């Protein structure tokens, strides 16, 4: 099961969707789709939780406050496209 592979990886280390796609050789949009499902699954898990380190702008330092799976494309502050994507980790509650 592909999602279980992702869950196992995220229990040991934080990754972005792109890093997971590199490790697993899957398309980033598939990983993002799986992460959406994993977020729902893990929400019901009494022992673990999915933590999202939100995206930020690499140029002006703007921090996105929303915990979205998909990286935004553009910074609302400086309007540039140098976005550090969100990263994900699964930790014990
Ligand atoms: Zn910016």
27 C-alpha to center of ligand 1: Å?
A: 27
59 C-alpha to center of ligand 1: Å?
A: 5
Whole-structure pTM value: 0.91
Tell me which residues have their CB within 5 A of the ion that is ligand 1.
57, 59-60, 62, 75, 77-78
Q: Mean pLDDT of all residues in the chain?
A: 95
Mean pLDDT of 50-58: 96
Q: What pLDDT score does 67 carry?
A: 82
Helix, strand, coil percentages (3-state) for the chain, rounded to 5, are: 40, 20, 40
> Could you give the number of structural domains in the chain?
1
Domain boundaries, position 8:
2-92
Please check whether residue 59 is in contact with residue 80, taking contact to mean a CB–CB distance below 8 angstroms: yes
**C-alpha–C-alpha distance, residues 10 and 89, integer Å:** 5
Please check whether residue 34 is in contact with residue 3, taking contact to mean a CB–CB distance below 8 angstroms: yes
Output the six-digit token pair for 14: 């934080």
DSSP state of 85: P
**C-alpha–C-alpha distance, residues 90 and 57, integer Å:** 24
pLDDT band, very low/low/confident/very high, at 66 (cuts 50, 70, 90): confident
21 C-alpha to center of ligand 1: Å?
A: 25
- CATH number, domain with residue 8: 1.10.10
């Amino acid at each position: 099961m592909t999602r279980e592979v992702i869950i196992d990886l995220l229990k040991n280390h934080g990754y972005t969707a792109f890093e997971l796609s590199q490790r697993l050789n899957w398309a980033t949009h598939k990983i993002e789709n799986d992460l959406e499902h994993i977020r729902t699954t893990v929400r019901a898990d009494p022992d673990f939780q999915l933590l999202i380190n939100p995206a930020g702008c690499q140029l002006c330092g703007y921090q996105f406050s929303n915990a979205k799976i998909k990286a935004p494309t553009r910074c609302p502050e400086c309007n540039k496209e140098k976005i550090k994507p969100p990263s994900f980790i699964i930790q014990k509650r």
